[in-house]
Amino acid sequence: MLNKNEPINIITPESKIENKLLSPMKTEPKFTTSLNVNTSDITESITDKVKSNPTNLIHLKFSNDPAHWVINSDLISYFSENIPIQNVDADLTVSTRQFGTKTRYFRKEYFSRALGNGECVNREWLIYSPSTGSVYCYVCKIFRHLQTSEKLTSVHQFESGFDDWKNINVRMEAHEQSNDHFNSIKKMVDLNKCKKLDVELINQFNNEKMYWIQVLKRVIAVIKFLSSRGLAFRGDSEIFGCPKNGNYLGCLELLSNFDPFLEEHIKKFGNPGKGKVSYMSSTICNEFIDILATTLNLKIVSEIKETKYFGISIDSTPDIAHIDQLTIIIRYTTIGQGKVVERFLGFVPIEQHDGKYLFDVLNKMLNDNNIDISKCRSQSYDNASNMSGIYSGVQARFREVNKLAEWIPCAAHSLNLVGSVTVECCTEAIKFFSVVQSIYTFLSASPQRWSIMLKNMKESVFVVKSLSETRWSARSDATKALSHNYEEIRQTLIDISLSETQPPTAVNEAKSLVKKLNRLETVLMSIIWNDILQQVNIVNKSLQTPGIEICTVVNLYNSLLSYFKNMRSAEEFDLFEEKAKIKVSGLSNYSELESRKRKHKVSVYDGNAIDAVDQMSARDKFKIQTFYVIIDKLVVEMEKRKKAYLRLDERFNFLTDDSLKDEEIKIKANNLVETYKTDLESAFVNEFLIFKSFREIGMSVNEMLIKQINT
């Protein structure tokens, strides 16, 4: 609410529209003059107003000395409603003037005037200036410049300051009876009449404004709700009452059932047509989303600058319109809370995928947001060559500009790549996952086939799943379903192959899948891969934990490596084989197809090696050429991927490793200071040792920092 004493900017009726938001106006002051003016037209005298509201005599913004006034719209507006202080009790000796041999000065008696009937009337228009010792007519000083009049004469000296005390009585009477003085009073009265009219306009405007504010509050609430859930806004039409008008209008219709205000608004403005304002059209959604996005982006950039250091992550994917969108994420630690947060900075349409182009786009995005690229301390992308390439990838080009921006590949994505490479390392692995996908595709293509499968599975919760190229948890679910329900799925396919109601193509495909499931190798692969992928899935979920530390990533990789290395033994293979034979009775032998001799070129250096391979049993061939190959590939790939995290762990592990001695910590801390010369001072080493002495055993650095902040 506006202060009712706040200055306004109204001078003429034409400026009313520019000053709509005004406080309620007081009644205009009245003046008693010696002119033949019907003073009853002016509602009350200044004297009465002063008595009724003495607070009008005080104003901190404008000086009580008229000699210091700067005439502007604020001053005019204020003193048209409030009476200036006459400074009756001021030091009048300042007004002393020398007239020949006589010394004259202004006297208090001049503030009033005796009428012919003996009545004494106060000259409210007269103000004394304590600084100059002159007197002014404040009405003429303020309002005469609004008139067109002749040049200033002696009558008008009260505008610029009068001090001719020898002729003061004559001059005051002449001024009081002048047309200019009367016109100035009239101007002030007219202005207050305009203000009264503006009060009505203001009230009308404020009511209208509050109405649309209430509408927009509901509109914004719906926009935020749909945006936060990634739901579509528009439908096939923009007509209220139409079932195909989309989520935005649909939500407004739903709210109107419980909101009488919104219900009435929709009745009045629901389907206004073009050219009429309703604030419910599709364009208002886009405008508000832009406003919200801009505000949020400014907040994020402000936090990034406040925290100083940050990390960056980018990735691209095509949208529904087949436009490749580059996603830019900024990671930083919040000030005051010590929490690591990730903020979405924006989508950028891209046309190429080479490292230079992507880096240029990223660099431009940072510059456009005034984010200092030199403060970046980490990069996190996928393992694609255009991102991770050590010569021309994005990370390499980024480090050319900022050597301290360490590249940290996504740990979960690296683990997925280990699985992707391993799946293609041998023929049996490729065949197995082809069978898994074929089973899902075949059974899910027909509700009748799916129903047969559910009957055979009875109460099992592991129904067949589809594979996924990006989410290895999906491969884990798919192999688990086949491994746990191998016999049930095989029986389902047998039932379909013997069914007379199924089409011939389905029968033939079912027979083909049954034949593949009747191989001992397939049963073995389902058990082996289920065991592998369950372990990978557990680690994968842990790697995606928010706030995971680099040392934890290394420990998880090491634990998985140890598990795979222990798997690579004849004893473990024997256990897998035994489980396979128990799972499907009657399958005790390996496929004869795998034991047939293969054609090969004869080499003088082959010696007895070829004969040794040819003489191996089908079981040994599977163990050596499939089982061991899979495990070896897993170990090799994981060792390679782990190196990226091991290097960083070596640099930072002293922050969390409680087993290190102080001397070891000093060496590692000094190395860290040497690496980040512009960020850390040499005192960091001793400071960290002191900090470590306060840290509780088992508490991470991040937890300790948060605890210190909270306390």
Q: Which pLDDT does position 561 carry in this prediction?
A: 94
Mean pLDDT confidence for 250-273:
88
Q: Given a cut of 80, is residue 293 above it in pLDDT?
A: yes
Is residue 34 pLDDT above 70, yes or no? no
pLDDT tens digits for range 86-117: 999 898 888 989 888 899 989 998 998 887 67
Stretch among 258-267, 304-313, 654-663 having the lowest mean pLDDT:
654-663
Per-residue model confidence (pLDDT) at position 147: 52
Partners of 324 in the β-ladder? 318
The residues, ordered by sequence, that sit 6+ positions from 280 with a Cβ below 8 Å of its Cβ are 215, 219, 249, 252, 266, 269, 270
Written as six digits, the tokens of 224 are 């935020």
pLDDT (mean) for 668-673: 91
Indicate the average pLDDT of the chain. 81
Asked if pLDDT for residue 16 goes beyond 60, the answer is no
pLDDT recorded at residue 528: 93
* Domains present along the chain, CATH in parentheses: 13-200 (no CATH), 288-409 (3.30.420.40), 426-595+609-641 (no CATH), 656-710 (no CATH)
> Over the stretch 424-442, which tens digit does the pLDDT of each residue have?
888 889 999 999 999 999 9
d(CA 56, CA 40): 22
Is the dihedral angle over the CA atoms 637, 638, 643, 648 positive or is it negative? positive
> pLDDT tens for residues 340-368?
889 999 899 998 888 899 999 999 999 99
Asked if 326 and 348 count as a contact pair (C-beta separation under 8 A), the reply is yes
Quote the pLDDT of residue 711.
Answer: 57
**Could you give the CA distance from residue 301 to residue 371 in angstroms, rounded to a whole number?**
7
Between 305 and 610, the higher pLDDT residue: 305
Helices (H) then strands (E): counts for the chain: 27, 11
Q: What is the pLDDT of residue 253?
A: 92
How do residues 219-228 score in pLDDT, each as one tens digit? 999 999 998 8
- The residue with greater pLDDT, 580 or 697, is 580
Q: Which residues contact 206 (CB under 8 A, 6 or more apart)?
A: 21
- 7 by Cβ neighbours in 10 Å (0-12 / 13-18 / 19+) ranks as middle
Q: Is the pLDDT of residue 29 over 50?
A: no
pLDDT digits (tens, 9 = 90+) for 41-86: 433 443 444 344 443 444 557 888 999 888 888 888 888 778 888 9
User: Mean of the pLDDT values across residues 192-212?
Assistant: 76
pLDDT at residue 35 tops 50: no
pLDDT attached to residue 197:
56
Surface-to-core class of residue 588, CB atoms within 10 Å of its CB (0-12 exposed, 13-18 middle, 19+ buried):
exposed
Q: Of 90-99, 296-305, 376-385, 468-477, where does mean pLDDT reach its minimum?
A: 468-477
pLDDT in tens, 554-589: 999 999 999 999 999 999 999 999 998 888 877 777
Amino acid at 260: P
Q: What percent of the chain has pLDDT over 70?
A: 82
The whole-number pLDDT of residue 5 equals 40
pLDDT value of position 196: 61
**Identity of the residue numbered 180:** D
Specify whether the CB–CB gap between 193 and 10 falls below 8 A.
Answer: no
422 or 613: which leads in pLDDT: 422
